[in-house]
Amino acid sequence: MSNFKPPYIGAAFYPEVWDKSETAKDIARMNAAGINMVRLGEYAWSYLEPKEGLYNFKWLHEVIAELENNKIAITLCTPTAAPPEWLIAGYPEVLAVREDKEQCNTDIKRSYCPNSPLYRAFSEKITGLLVKEFSRYKAIVAWQIDNEFGSEFTSCRCTACRTGFQKYLQKKYKTLKNLNAVWGMGRWNQSYNYFERIPLPDKSSVNQPALYYNYKEFISLSFAGFAGIQEKIIRKGSSVSVTTNGMPSLHKIDYQELFKNLDFPTLDLYISEKYLWKYIYEFDWMRPFKNKPYWIMETPSTWAGRLVPDRSFINKSCLRAKMWLAYALGGETVSFWHWRAHWSGQESERISVPRFCGEPTLAEKSLRVVIEELNKTKELLTKTKVKKPESALHLSYQAMWIFDYGVVAGIKYDDELTQFYKVFLDQNIPRDIIFTEADPSGYKTVFSPFLPVINGVLLEKMKDFILKGGTWIVGPLSGFRSAANTAHNESEPGLLEDLFKIQIRHRFLLTGDDSEPVYINWGAMGKVRCRKFAVSIELKGHGKVLAKYSDGPGAGMNAIVEVPFGKGKVVLLGTLPAYEKLKIWINEIAGADKCKIVKTGAEGIVIAERVDAAGKSIAFIIVEHAGKGGLVTLTKSLKNAFTGKKLKKNLKLAPYDVIVLV
């Protein structure tokens, strides 16, 4: 593979924690293993600035120069994820304050407050110095800001956060009269008389969803603002890409906001090999977000436990399948955490490419296979992209905050949205996941399940989308909360009511108990069980009833309705039908977009159709990710890019198999 150009196979590298003599050995091992990108520096602040104002950049210059000489690309990190001991000892006010009013422990990473003026000042200084010192190196292909925003904690109760939150509310709502009215603070005599007296939410504020929701928004913006300060400094002195790394298993901050001004998104993905499909879910939002290749910044190459690094993450080439899913669906980098296992400290003897003693792990065999395959397909990957799908699903962090608050009992946003998404994945229906601020034009159908807040901006976009011929599937559990996380005080669907001439008449709980099932009569699908939640939808204008409740408290009421609008239509789901029937319905709506040349009926097979700049189909990357194998049918003869062999008709895939067809 060419020097300093993707596709990259990378690893986090910590030369600072090893004797200087080990650096050359590690770099030689990287060359032998096929690692062509490393990530440096995210926890190196105390090595770069051992005492306040005393800097030591020589060691990092030497490491970077040696990597560059060995044609290994570099992602250089700002080291602000873990403040050094001297900073905490001298300025303890930079530490975040927990809900119990105690400061965060000083022996953990991410212990700082993102709103601390002092910590921001120290972070700006070290970032500026790093850019000045190292931006001249050609091997540096990207900068990473901080590390895993939102992982260890997503709250702070310090004075800076309380003052910042109050100023944020004042800017957002302008007057206390407006805030009290929008939040409905007359309840229990809770109206505020001064912005300065508005508290930060804690366990005692469980009955005030608007306070909680706005605080979640504020702290999310705080992390994005902290990242933005460093981003601006880096751009002044460097022309290469700037990013940061999210962590979806823990994320509770708004990644749409965090990555808004960065060049491309990256994630740290630590998902079990049993659930490789969840990697695909993450790729499907990263790909359309910037319309640029995304990166996996961290992922395990071996088991994500301790002390047993040779218990491999790979079962029957699972690592190969995971890596190829990333490249096939629009990524250009798979970077492992980490290169050489730590021999001491909190994360000693964990997931790595070689062990702490330098010996390879069981990942080496799979890595060599993937490197060889990338060498044969590099040009194909860099000159093609994933064909744009006709269907998209909305993703909303605001929805996550609302559901996680417990407005609807038993609903966890991540779980519900990913299960809804899996209906598309299991049927190989091409799909994008888009944020609510995204432009929906270019899609034929947009699905908005579990989207409690539908504000005026989103509604205008979707109105234009439907008028031009699009289909908008709204629900279940969409449009029932205001932008302040209150109920709509005039009608449940809020802005949807007047636009589409509908009304939510009744709402009733589905217990999930088999002794009290509720069903709908759903046209040709017959009698279908409802799940989670149910509302009845009254048509006040033109429209069509697609399903009615057949029993329960809403017997005879409308469950699913369709309303024509301009050249398109909106379909409102008042409940979540059983998934086996939902699959059939969604396939009828969006299934025509499936790949016509390579087909499969197996649920664990992904077919990524790759097209050139003109939209012409060039290749098909097939990955079996469920570990079950399966059959693929070709409608025309294609060549295996790995072997050069011509393939016709039926193609049997082994568990975790990968094939690139051209």
Residue 310's pLDDT is what?
44
CB count within 10 Å of CB 432 equals: 21
With beta carbons less than 8 A apart as the criterion, state whether 338 and 351 touch.
Answer: yes
Cis peptide before 338 (omega within 30 of 0): yes
Do the two domains 8-155+226-383 and 391-592 of this chain adopt the same fold? no
In this predicted structure, which of 151-160, 326-335, 336-345, 588-597 has the lowest mean pLDDT? 336-345
Residue 306's pLDDT is what?
56
Token pair, residue 391, equals 């269907």
User: How far, in Å, CA of 271 to CA of 281, rounded?
Assistant: 12
Determine the average pLDDT of the residues in 465-485: 93
3-state secondary structure (DSSP) of residue 502: strand
pTM: 0.94
Has residue 349 got a pLDDT over 60?
no
In this predicted structure, which of 209-213, 302-306, 612-616 has the lowest mean pLDDT? 302-306
Residue 346 binned pLDDT confidence (cut-offs 50, 70, 90): low
User: What is the DSSP secondary-structure string of 532-577?
Assistant: EEEEEEEESSS-EEEEEE-SSTTTTSEEEEEEEETTEEEEEESEEE
Determine the average pLDDT of the residues in 583-610: 96
Cis peptide before 7 (omega within 30 of 0): yes
Class of domain 8-155+226-383: alpha beta
Query: In this prediction, what percent of the chain has a pLDDT beyond 90?
Result: 73
Amino acid at 548: K
For the chain, give every domain's residue range: 8-155+226-383, 391-592, 595-661
In this predicted structure, which of 85-89, 409-413, 475-479 has the lowest mean pLDDT? 409-413
> What's the Rg (C-alpha) of the chain?
26
Fold for domain 391-592? Rossmann fold (3.40.50)
Determine the average pLDDT of the residues in 479-489: 85
Residue whose entry in the numeric block shows the structure tokens 């664990």: 604
Residue 311's pLDDT is what?
47
Residue 71 binned pLDDT confidence (cut-offs 50, 70, 90): very high
Q: What are phi and psi of 245, to 5 degrees?
A: -115, 125
Of 273, 266, 261, 268, the closest CA to residue 287 belongs to 266
pLDDT tens digit string along 229-262? 999 999 999 999 999 999 885 557 899 999 999 9
Residue 37's pLDDT is what?
97
Sign, CA torsion 22/25/26/27: positive
Residue 515's pLDDT is what?
66
Residue 108 binned pLDDT confidence (cut-offs 50, 70, 90): low
Has residue 295 got a pLDDT over 80?
yes
Does the domain at 595-661 match CATH 2.60.40.1180? Answer given as yes
Residue 370: CB partners within 8 Å, gap ≥ 6? 9, 319, 320, 323, 324
Residue 352's pLDDT is what?
72
Helix (H) or strand (E) holding 605: strand 605-611
pLDDT tens digit string along 517-575? 899 999 999 999 998 789 999 999 999 999 999 988 889 999 999 999 999 999 999 99
Token pair, residue 475, equals 């629900």
Has residue 505 got a pLDDT over 60?
yes
